[in-house]
Structure 1
């Protein structure tokens, strides 16, 4: 239950940002980190469900995307995720690793021209005329 409470805001943000395409669209740098995390959670749940479970999750997400202000639609998405977590211990472990630790606070400050800040940075390029080679 705690995982669902923690994941809820991320799921809502992902559905709001990606809509029903949350299962098929690649993460976007233009979308905030909360939406991208919510998308990864929904995709993880979707991948581990059977055909019927996928269809039910897709329907719940579609309803939530069409009615973003409807708390019942958002609750239906959470209920689908909750059901999947109840049935799959490995999925619970995967989701727990994705979510920030309870009470975890990250403060990041960047200042100055071309400064960047993030909890985790994989690649960052801030210079002019930079070439990245594989």
Structure 2
């Protein structure tokens, strides 16, 4: 197929604007993008788009390895689990994994009278 020169329209460079330079469409949208509600919604959308981009480009989810919806679903679930494990492994370790529980009334009673507490049967082997 051969295209004629007049069929190929190349826009004049004066019509193109830099995306950082405010154009008429950007100026019309600007006031509606200022409220905090819009910014909150956009922050959520931005996070979701980042996750979708990670799946598509980082883990090859644009194409499925298997045929059939059930097998494709299994692939997606296993990939999501792998991504979650990968993200959790990158988190910094915390010194104390769970906060200390306050003592029960019985434990406080024992402490006030100087009576030693017996060890929990779950911690006897450690």
TM (norm. structure 1) is 0.25
TM (norm. structure 2) is 0.26
More helix by share: 1
Q: Between the two structures, name the one with larger relative contact order (CA 8 Å, sep ≥ 6).
A: 1
